Amino acid sequence: MKYMNAKRKYQSLNLQLFASDGEAVGDNGEGSGEEDEGDDEPEDGEEDDLEEKKFSQKDLDDAVKKRLAREKRKWQRNQQKKSDVEDKAGDGEESEESKARKAAESRATKAEARVVCYEAGVAKDSVDDAIALARSYMENNEELDLEDAIEKVVKKYPHFKKGTEESYEEKKSKSWGERQKGSNPQKMSGVEKRFYELNPDLK
C-alpha cells in the first residue's frame, strides 16, 4: 500500500501544470475533480502510517547485525567454493602453503561451529552431532547459515541442549556420593568413640 501511495504521488501528472493560462480544462469541469482526488491522497498516506508496525532502535540494530553476519558467512562460503574450484582447475599437485592454508581454514571453521553450538546451549557431548545435522541442513538450503541451522537442529532435537535430562549414571553417582558424605550420620559404638577421643587428629 505504501508503494502504491508513493507511485500515485510521484508518477501522477498534474495536467494543470502543463496547461496554459487561457485554455479550458474541459467542458464538464474535470479539473476541479482531479484536485479533489489529489487532496485525498495525503489522508490515505496518514492512515497507512498509523497502520504500519513500529520498531525500536534495538530491534533494528539486532536485525541489521544478524543480516550482516549472515551475508558475511554467505560471502565466505562463496569464496571458499571459488577457491576450491580454482584449486581443482589448477594442476593436481598442491603446494605446502595451500595445504597449510586449507588446514587452518578447516580448523577455524570447526572452531566457529563449536562456538555457535555453545552459544546455542548445546551440550558438550552433543556438539559434533549438532554440527553434522546443521551441515546437512545447510547443504539442502543454501540460504541457511550456520547459526540458523544449529537453532533449527536444537528446536528439532531438544535433547542436545544442556540440562535437559540427567543420565542414569549421573543420578546414581549423586546418590552414592550423598551416602558417602554422611547425610545420615550413624551412631558410633563406645569403642570407636573412646578411640576418637584419644586420637583427635584422625577426624
DSSP code string of 79-111: HHHHHHHHHHHS-S---HHHHHHHHHHHHHHHH
d(CA 120, CA 115): 9
**Comparing 199 with 16, which gets the higher pLDDT?**
199
d(CA 72, CA 61): 16
**Residues 109-153: tens digit of each pLDDT:** 889 989 988 888 898 888 999 999 998 988 888 888 888 889 899
d(CA 41, CA 37): 7
Percentage of the chain beyond pLDDT 90 is 9
Cut 0.75: pTM above it: no
Cβ–Cβ < 8 Å for 48, 4: no
Cβ–Cβ < 8 Å for 133, 120: no
- pLDDT range class, residue 192, cuts 50, 70, 90: confident
d(CA 110, CA 115): 9
First-to-last alpha carbon distance for the chain, in angstroms, is: 82
Please say if the pLDDT value at position 67 is more than 80.
Answer: yes
> Would you state the pLDDT for residue 61?
92
d(CA 126, CA 113): 12
